[in-house]
Amino acid sequence: MPANSSNAWRPGTPAVPSRSGGPRLPTRKRERRWGSWRASSRSPGERKCETRRTAGRRSNCSAERRRRRHGRSRRWRRRSRGGGRRRNGTARGGRPAGTGLRRDGDGNHTGATTSHSSRRDARRSQQPNGEAARESRGHDGKEGRPPVGVTRRQFIGSVALAGAAGGAAWADIPGGYAAEAQRLTDLVQQTFWDPVARQYRAPVRSAESVDSDPVHDNGYVLWPSVEALHALAEGAAAMPRRYAPVIREVVGGLEQYFDPEKHAYNAWLRFPGNNDKYYDDNALMAISLAEAHRHTGVRGYRDRATEVMEGFLKGGWDASGSPGGMRWGTDPGNPATADRAACSTSMTALAALRLAKLGVEERANLAFAQELLAWLLENLQDADGLIMDALEPPDWRVRRVKWTYNTGVALRAHVELYRLTGDAAPLEEAIRLAAAAVRREGALYDGLVQNPEHRYWYDSGFFVPYLVDGLMGLHETTGEPALRGEAERHADYAYDLLRDRTDGLYWRNWRLWRIGEEQLAVWEALTGQTHRLEPDDSERSKAAEFTNMPLEQRPLVKTLLANAGTARMFWMMGRRAAVEG
């Protein structure tokens, strides 16, 4: 919904208190504000449940959601396979990337970084409705053979999607979101943390890992390492005794990245002359440390977050207004670090608000965050309400790419600003950002999918959690069920289709056609469309023995960045479900 929508809730309208203590949108305004979206995404039974909840009577709608999911699965089976006995299959996940196919400001694809062989470029003609995929038992009664007229890829996709729709997936996650968060967090530590190097390391060379000495070879740069720390901090909110010792070990290991002279963390291990630091990484570190202090009580975490804010982050702010904003990084050898980036600006604002919430330089940090967010909206918010990526030197033109995390962090920061000040203006802006973020015709969704019912956010498992965080924060404040509904929809999508059942880890890409042939087959079965595989380099091994192979033939790998981000998303969903339940 455009940011200037006349239906947007306005300050001064009487509010209904929510359980979290913040104002809740008035029922009539709320229905008008979100009604069109909910009508397209909720069953009548779920809308009835929401009506009871709005009236103040608690209602558990999980049974209705299960009925709707199972009903949708049955409808899909009748439509695509013509009935018959259902067989379980296994949907195997894939891995996204932050690189590759990008979009312009209107959400259109602008280019890809990968090439495609003629074999995969050959587009198959789309089958008529009802013929796209069939039962794994062919018409001739032979097990496991594709029916006549169905391609092998369509057959694999239908079986895999049936496994997701009729097996453990497309239903309630065993133990709930919190149980999956704990399982994945523990698996991340087991898979990627090296207690000898005191560092996160990749099992094989892959995206974000670095060639180094034998002890630190394939070690991860700061960004995914801090994402893992952030997931642990979220876990400590629910299980402090379990994760406090792990946080202590990880924070100690990350000292290898810290530059005490600059009061900041390097992108890679500290060594003389290393000045490769990023403001968004350090803002995320300050946020994670502040959260770790909040849930463990360790004062040193708060003190280090304060040091990073005062000694480094505030120095990256361009107060001149020409162009203003936060730099992306410090490395003079990399011209891109002079970008005035949405990620560094909004994350620094959120870090300042987190510290203000802890009572650290409360007035100064509050004023700093307000200044940052005002600049962000003035310079990087598009007419559709979403946040664009950056201003690029030397002429400071807008890079119009839109990622979920840029809008998500801005949304969360406005919610926090409202909670700290009580000013209605940040809440109103948060509502505008959320409305733009959940519009399925908008740039954050995979526009390649023709049916809006099957559209999901298009980027990666390490960006999406920031938007989930923003939506859930606003949901806690307003009580709007549509916000939680869309967050749940995406969390379930990740569990169902991005989880590799062979090892329990998650892929990077949320666009299945960017991962592998099996994931593309699932996407085609889900959407009823055909597309070519466009493999993402960051989903593939970068080991030396595979570098000369075609990209699509390199082995798929799992990364810390994707799995740490996904674990954090499940912690957020699980904790807030427990609070509301």
3-class SS at 102? strand
Beta carbons of 436 and 374 less than 8 angstroms apart: no
pLDDT of 536 strictly over 60 = yes
Task: Tell me which residue range forms the domain holding 576.
Answer: 16-59+90-123+172-580
DSSP codes joined into one string, 33-48: HHHHHHHHH--HHHHH
pLDDT of 558 strictly over 50 = yes
457 phi and psi, to 5 degrees?
Answer: -55, 145
d(CA 347, CA 563): 21
What end-to-end distance do the CA atoms of the chain give, in Å? 30
Q: Identify the band that residue 577 occupies on the pLDDT scale cut at 50, 70 and 90.
A: low
So what's the pLDDT on residue 451? 97
So what's the pLDDT on residue 179? 96
d(CA 51, CA 57): 9
Within-domain flag for 394: yes
3-class SS at 200? strand
Residue type (1 letter), 30:
R
So what's the pLDDT on residue 141? 35
Within-domain flag for 81: no
- Determine the average pLDDT of the residues in 426-447: 98
Output 86 or 480, whichever has higher pLDDT.
480
CA dihedral 9, 14, 19, 21 (to 10 degrees): 100
CA 441 to chain centre: 18
Beta carbons of 250 and 232 less than 8 angstroms apart: yes
CATH code (residue 341):
1.50.10.20
Within-domain flag for 397: yes
Q: What percent of the chain has pLDDT over 70?
A: 69
Please, which residues bridge with residue 199 across strands?
194
Output 21 or 260, whichever has higher pLDDT.
260
Q: Identify the band that residue 157 occupies on the pLDDT scale cut at 50, 70 and 90.
A: low
216 phi and psi, to 5 degrees?
Answer: -110, 10
Within-domain flag for 565: yes
Q: Identify the band that residue 205 occupies on the pLDDT scale cut at 50, 70 and 90.
A: very high
The residue to which tokens 């990337």 are assigned: 97
**Pairing of β 317-318 and β 264-265:** unpaired
* Sign of CA pseudo-dihedral 496, 188, 99, 214: negative
Query: Which of 51-65, 198-212, 253-267, 567-581 has the lowest average pLDDT?
Result: 51-65
Highest mean pLDDT among 106-120, 170-184, 412-426 belongs to 412-426
d(CA 445, CA 256): 38
Within-domain flag for 309: yes
- Determine the average pLDDT of the residues in 367-395: 98
Q: Identify the band that residue 151 occupies on the pLDDT scale cut at 50, 70 and 90.
A: low
pLDDT tens, 96-137? Answer: 333 333 334 443 333 333 322 322 232 222 222 232 222 222
Residue type (1 letter), 411:
L
Within-domain flag for 76: no
Q: Identify the band that residue 20 occupies on the pLDDT scale cut at 50, 70 and 90.
A: very low
Beta carbons of 561 and 539 less than 8 angstroms apart: no
3-class SS at 265? strand
Count of beta carbons in the 10 Å neighbourhood of residue 492: 19
Output 359 or 577, whichever has higher pLDDT.
359
Residue partners of 122: CB distance under 8 A and separation at least 6? none
pLDDT of 467 strictly over 50 = yes
Beta carbons of 47 and 54 less than 8 angstroms apart: no
pLDDT of 57 strictly over 90 = no
Domain total of the chain: 1
pLDDT tens, 28-38? Answer: 333 333 433 33
- Determine the average pLDDT of the residues in 524-542: 96
Within-domain flag for 440: yes
Q: Identify the band that residue 514 occupies on the pLDDT scale cut at 50, 70 and 90.
A: very high
So what's the pLDDT on residue 174? 85
d(CA 398, CA 411): 20
Within-domain flag for 164: no
Question: In the predicted model, what is the mean pLDDT of the chain?
Answer: 79
DSSP codes joined into one string, 342-408: HHHHHHHHHHHHHHHHTTSSHHHHHHHHHHHHHHHHHHHB-TTSPBP-EEETTTTEEE----HHHHH
The residue to which tokens 């202590």 are assigned: 248
The residue to which tokens 């999901």 are assigned: 456
